[in-house]
Amino acid sequence: MLKKTSTLIIAFICSWSLLSCDTQTAATSSADNDKKTKPSKLQKIKQSGILHVATRIDPTTYTPLPKGGYTGLEYDLVMLFAKHLGVKVDFQIPESFEEILQKTASGEIDIAAAGLTITAERKKTLRFAPSYHEITEQIIYRTGTAKPKSATDLTAGILEVTKGTSHVGSLQLLKQKSAPKLNWLTNDNLDSKQLIELLNNGLIDYTVADSNQAMLMRRFYPKLHIAFDISKPRELAWAMSANADDSLHKEVSEFFKRIKKDKSLKQLLERHYGHAEKLNYVDKCKFYQHQKNRLPEYKEYFMEAGEKYDMDWRLLAAIGYQESHWEEGAISPTGVRGLMMLTKDTAKQVGIKDRTDPVQSIKGGALYFHQRIKTIPKRIPNPDRIWFALASYNIGYGHLEDARVLTQKNGGNPDKWIDVKEFLPKLSEEAWHTKTKHGYARGKEPVIYVENVRNYYDLLLWQTNKEQQAQPEISDNNPNFIDKLFNTYFMIDFNKRLARKKSVNKAEVSDSSTPPVQSTE
């Protein structure tokens, strides 16, 4: 009897174990199947055909162009990645910097491409891609304010930064280490670009900007200056949600690995930053003065020529400024003359009888530049195609080809301006020009020429953008557009700021714990 009972117990235990194993196996199999059928983050993006990207409007990231389209390093990088994936991009501009971080962390946004600094705090909720650029954070001040030499000097004025940025953390660290009396305002409505505009208008005394942003913005605001760095070099990178699977992150990482290897990233950095520091304070001030006093007389002729040859009139105007500073009677020691500085042979080639006539000069210069573009090999895309055409306009196509040949023979890419501009100056060196078809040339000049034209073109784009924003179209559907633009874009009444600026005891400026500015006005 006892033996029989033992046998029954053993049989029961074995049956229960087998049943348990079957159940566990079934559960595991079900989980595996779910895992196999559930698409990854990357698969979802490819299936939908849309990549959702958060960014912000800034010269360093994403900027609308007057005639449609966009520019900016982040924009170009995202479009290149989207082309790699074979999808379209849905760019979103959140209302605040903090919202970019929040939407990305929650997974509402696939990628944040907004010039984000990698920080330990952000790593808690975000997964960063490999860095694509390195910057420092800098104190910016305006002409008329004494240059601060250290953090303690900042206590003598109003310092304001954007809430949620790494600038706040850098100031907190600075306060702890060396400037216990350092105080500042945080603003949760205005971004760093808008604070720079406040600084330019004299409504605050200091702000903080990343070095790449400061470099670009100072071209548009010549009265702004860099005081000193408040951070060590920091890395910029795209961010994704830390809660999502790593499929998208792996794809992004491979993408950056590839564009670093094939120099696409280096070329994009050169495109957006390579020419930005070539004009000094006097150059920029003189340009703005001439733009105000001289350009209006010739603007319509540049526009007509641009329309005729399907090119941006501002590019033609930039060429004209580089050539003559928009002086119709300009003449060089070699006999080149007129607003577009045409030679006799060039004038004859394009059918111009009077080089000193500004209308004829602009028409002739536009046609000649159009011809230069046509001579550049069709396989070379813009903007390199434009930079090569500009170099050819200055030095001649033959010498440009000599430099391209030298570039190729020495391992560079003859179709990339970033490579060819390194070899153009060598055309003035005997060891190099004796190996070329067309011989000696002052090769440094076309490099400077192209960089200057690019700068003048950027300044004209910026100014015309501002003019369009200042003159919005008012319709029955949007009668309060100007009020909305003023209150939404700047988020604050300038008169109140000005009154505070005059009356505030600067020694008692609110510190970082003070509520945002709009709450205290």
Mean pLDDT of 306-322: 95
Q: Residue 392 above 70 pLDDT?
A: yes
In tens, the pLDDT along 89-121 reads: 999 999 899 999 999 999 999 999 999 999 999
Burial category of 129 from C-beta neighbours within 10 Å (exposed 0-12, middle 13-18, buried 19 and up): buried
Task: Clarify whether residues 147 and 126 are in a common domain.
Answer: no
Task: Clarify whether residues 129 and 188 are in a common domain.
Answer: no
Is residue 60 included in any domain, yes or no? yes
Is residue 13 included in any domain, yes or no? no
Task: Clarify whether residues 158 and 122 are in a common domain.
Answer: no
Work out the mean pLDDT of the chain and round it to a whole number: 85
User: What gap in Å lies between CA 256 and CA 264, rounded to an integer?
Assistant: 9
In tens, the pLDDT along 350-387 reads: 999 999 999 999 999 999 999 999 999 999 999 999 99
Is residue 32 included in any domain, yes or no? no
How many C-beta neighbours within 10 Å does residue 171 have? 27
In tens, the pLDDT along 217-235 reads: 998 999 999 999 999 999 9
Mean pLDDT of 256-277: 91
Task: Clarify whether residues 173 and 319 are in a common domain.
Answer: no
Task: Clarify whether residues 349 and 449 are in a common domain.
Answer: yes
Task: Clarify whether residues 117 and 103 are in a common domain.
Answer: yes
Q: Using pLDDT thresholds of 50, 70 and 90, give the confidence band for residue 19.
A: very low
Q: Using pLDDT thresholds of 50, 70 and 90, give the confidence band for residue 188.
A: confident
Q: Are 145 and 112 in contact (CB under 8 A)?
A: no
46 is written with which tokens? 């490819």
In tens, the pLDDT along 446-464 reads: 999 999 999 999 999 888 8
Q: Are 325 and 339 in contact (CB under 8 A)?
A: no
Q: Residue 501 above 80 pLDDT?
A: no
Task: Clarify whether residues 352 and 247 are in a common domain.
Answer: no
Residue 117 is part of a domain; what is its CATH number? 3.40.190.10
Q: Are 516 and 163 in contact (CB under 8 A)?
A: yes
315 vs 8 pLDDT, higher one: 315
Residue 328 is part of a domain; what is its CATH number? 1.10.530.10
Tally of domains within the chain: 3
User: Minimal CA–CA distance to 157: which of 138, 176, 181?
Assistant: 181
Least confident span in 240-254, 276-290, 412-426, 462-476? 462-476
Task: Clarify whether residues 191 and 85 are in a common domain.
Answer: no
User: What gap in Å lies between CA 157 and CA 508, rounded to an integer?
Assistant: 9
User: What gap in Å lies between CA 141 and CA 467, rounded to an integer?
Assistant: 25
User: What gap in Å lies between CA 264 and CA 267, rounded to an integer?
Assistant: 5
Which segment, 24-33, 89-98, 275-284, is predicted with the most confidence on average?
Answer: 89-98
Mean pLDDT of 399-413: 95
Query: pTM higher than 0.85 for the full model?
Result: no
Q: Residue 72 above 60 pLDDT?
A: yes
User: What gap in Å lies between CA 280 and CA 375, rounded to an integer?
Assistant: 33
Task: Clarify whether residues 287 and 380 are in a common domain.
Answer: yes
Tell me the residue range of the domain where 436 lies.
Answer: 281-460
Task: Clarify whether residues 225 and 241 are in a common domain.
Answer: no
Q: Are 311 and 367 in contact (CB under 8 A)?
A: no
430 is written with which tokens? 């005997």
Contacts of 460 (CB under 8 A, 6+ apart): 291, 314, 317, 318
Is residue 108 included in any domain, yes or no? yes
User: What gap in Å lies between CA 60 and CA 132, rounded to an integer?
Assistant: 13
Is residue 496 included in any domain, yes or no? no
Residue with tokens 């984000």: 116
User: What gap in Å lies between CA 423 and CA 427, rounded to an integer?
Assistant: 7
Mean pLDDT of 163-186: 93
Least confident span in 26-30, 343-347, 366-370, 400-404? 26-30
Is residue 447 included in any domain, yes or no? yes
The pLDDT value given to residue 64? 84
Mean pLDDT of 299-327: 95
Give the domain-ending residue among 220, 248, 273. Answer: 273
Residues that are catalytic: 323
Task: Clarify whether residues 288 and 376 are in a common domain.
Answer: yes
Q: Encode 180-240 in three state secondary structure.
A: CCCCCEEECCCCHHHHHHHHHCCCCCEEEEEHHHHHHHHHHCCCEEEEEECCCCEEEEEEE
User: What gap in Å lies between CA 388 and CA 373, rounded to an integer?
Assistant: 8
498 vs 485 pLDDT, higher one: 498
Task: Clarify whether residues 299 and 387 are in a common domain.
Answer: yes
The residue type found at 191 is D
Q: Residue 341 above 70 pLDDT?
A: yes
